[in-house]
Structure 1
Amino acid sequence: AREGAAHAVDLPARPAPRTRRAEILAAAVPLFARHGFAKVTNGQIAEAVGLVPSALYRHYPTKMDVLVAACLQAAELLTQAVGRSLDGATGPREALNALAATYVAYSFEYTELTSVAEAEVAGLPDGLRQPLVLAQREHIAVWEEQLLLARPELNPRQARVLVHAGFGVVVEAGRRLHWRDTPAHRDEVTALVVGALGLTAP
């Protein structure tokens, strides 16, 4: 049996690329993560899936459409993961521990996808960015609500600052660990996030 909060996370599986459109997205994300969205060409994406560049447009009219699809996939996977993590949580502290373990697992499991979404979402046109911003706010609100229940001495602004600090811990620690995905690393980073919230790990 697997032990530790980080090991018990039930992450949704990334959709298998069963269509050409999905294959293009799966090939584009590592390129965006490695080189940055602006530097990746349609030709590179097409080559990665064995297409000529002109064939790409039948599936994604622009490179921006590929980026939007990546950002939406990241948001959807996180929403699903959060929903699963809160199933069965009996109180706010347990919920926060589950949220922390889930966010860490998600960040290590989908490192390329999350890095692309976080780095590039600000550059999306307003109409395309808005649904992603709303999804991000809803995710943060879940953490804030549970933290205010667990630590009633906090005000909403203080809770928000601590939640963002927790997210920052994941990014900084993940980079220092070179995103090497091991059970020990997930546990260590989860404990750091819980600590950043001013809570003690279970």
Structure 2
Amino acid sequence: MTATARESSFTPRRRPRDRRRQILAAAAALFWSEGYHRVGMADVATAVGIAPSALYRHVRGKQELLLAVLDEHLARIEALVAAPPDDLLGGLTALTLERREFGLLWEREAGHLPADEVRAIRHRLRAVAAVVAAASAEPDPATAELRGWAALSVVDSPSHHRWTLAGDRFGDLLAGAARAVLTAPLPPATGPPAASGRPRGLAPASRREALLAAATRLFGEHGYPAVGLGDIGAAAGIAGPSVYRHFATKTDLLLAALSRGNEALWLGLHHALARASDADDALTLLAADYTAFVAENPEIVSVLVSQTIHLPTEPRDDLRRSQRAYLAEWVALLTAARPELPAAEARVLVHAALALVNSLARVHHLAVRPGARARTAALAGAVLRT
């Protein structure tokens, strides 16, 4: 074979036109399942089937990759709401089910982004929530805003679990639950506004408890990877070496915080069950108790929702088993109150209701409004009764 023949038979490999989208999809899936801190650029490159050097043609580093993942999904949402279809919530739900990662990544990993980028994403999310709020036909602007954020949290709830339903039922059920919060009757927004900041109160005398409280707050605010034992000791007013008398490692502190929060949820469940007259009454009481717990313990809830991934395998699996059992109690109550509802659908609605409560608590200006807790609990109840 001549050199000319060899050259003419060679066809150079062409880069796929959607290579960047492939990269972002692979990165989103890895960040979602493994956690940003555990994923390297080489892992993403391997998932796409390219060399790491090729990955750097698209992004300069892992932080930029995370930002691109969030930006891409948010841009698709913005495109949808810019020319909203007749079924806006159905369209948003379809986007979520196509790529479920956004909500959890935004909550768990945003601390890895520059502060100005976080502010920009928050601003964009507020604009999306405003469009959804306008679809509610709610005459009161403050209530419309509450409904808009609540509907978005329902739509985004699959980001926090891996359950699915067959065919179109998943999307139909979620969109129906989101529509329910746009129209559900709400108690009046009465009473004084909640305090804009939590009162200082008194600190426990126990140094161990002081460390645990400081660790829970810092993990909730900044994420586990960004916090060191020195930071925790300083926040608790305890010198660095003294921390080790109470907790040998930072992981021990995380496990203690998660265990404390998990057991508190179980106590709340038993408290609601003990007062209930039937399953439907128990759901109402449980929604109110859970809403109050989230409002009063935002850091614990943030750690429970987003920081479990940082535990070693065995305690992480143990904690997740307990969390699944807790959710199963909600599902059992819901199916008892609504015998026509399949357990799989009840599970999706329970996740959506809890996500609604957790999400609204993080929108600070909504959480401090008069009547916020009662209204949030009512919206969660509307989801459960969709």
User: Residues 139-183 of structure 1: CA distance to partner in whole angstroms, max 9, x if unpaired?
Assistant: 111111111111111111011011111111112222234473566
Counterpart of 2:276, as a letter, is A
Q: Aligned pair 1:145/2:332, yes or no? A: yes
Is this contact kept in 1: 2:266–2:326, CA < 8 A?
yes
2:232 to 45, 54, 60: 45
Moved more, 82-91 or 129-138: 129-138
Task: Measure the CA separation in 1 of the matches of 2:385 and 2:367.
Answer: 26
1:125 corresponds in structure 2 to 312
Q: Which secondary structure does the structure 2 equivalent of 1:51 belong to?
A: coil
Q: CA deviation at 1:192?
A: 0.6
Q: Give, in whole Å, the separation in 2 of the partners of 1:179 and 1:119.
A: 21
The equivalent residue for 1:115 is: 302
> Equivalents in 2 of 1:182, 1:61: separation in Å?
41
Q: Distance in 2 between the 1:181 and 1:59 partners? A: 35
- Kept in 2, the 8 Å contact 1:70–1:113? The answer is yes
Q: Secondary structure in 1 aligned to 2:275?
A: coil
Q: Which position in structure 2 is the counterpart of 1:76?
A: 263
- In structure 1, distance between residues paired with 2:335 and 2:228: 46
C-alpha root-mean-square deviation of aligned residues, in Å?
2.0
Counterpart amino acid of residue 102 in structure 1: D
1:184 partner letter? G
In structure 2, the residue matched to 1:20 is 207
Larger Rg: 2
Q: Is the 8 A contact 1:42 1:53 kept in 2?
A: yes
Unmatched tracts of structure 1, length 5 or more: 5-15
The structure 2 residue matched to 1:91, chosen from 278, 285, 298, is: 278
Which residue in 2 is equivalent to 1:7?
none
Asked if the contact 1:108/1:181 (under 8 Å) is kept, the reply is no
In 2: Cα distance, 1:153 partner to 1:70 partner: 38
Bigger Cα displacement from structure 2, 153-162 vs 132-141: 132-141
Answer whether contact 1:144 1:159 (CA < 8 A) is retained.
yes
TM-score normalised according to structure 2 size: 0.46
Percent identity at matched positions? 38
String of CA shifts for 1:95-127, please: whole Å, max 9, x gaps.
Answer: 110111111111111111111222111221111
Structure 1 residue aligned with 2:346: 159
Is the contact made by 1:17 and 1:26 (CA closer than 8 Å) also made in structure 2? no
* Count of aligned pairs between the two proteins: 186
Q: Which residue of 2 aligns with 1:197?
A: 384
> In 1, are the aligned partners of 2:360 and 2:367 still within 8 Å (CA)?
no
Corresponding position of 1:67: 254
Q: 2:360 aligns with which of 162, 173, 181?
A: 173
Under a length normalisation based on structure 1, what TM-score does the superposition of the two structures give? Answer: 0.85
Q: Which has the higher contact order (CA 8 A, sep 6+)?
A: 1
Gap runs ≥5 in structure 2? 1-186, 189-202
Name the SS of the counterpart of 1:60 in structure 2.
coil
Cα distance, 1:57 vs structure 2: 1.1
Q: Judge conservation of contact 1:100–1:194 (CA < 8 Å) in 2.
A: yes
- Give the AA of the match of 1:53: G
Q: Tell me if structure 1 keeps the 8 A contact 2:298–2:361.
A: no
Residue number in structure 1 paired with 2:178: none
- Which residue is equivalent to 2:160? none
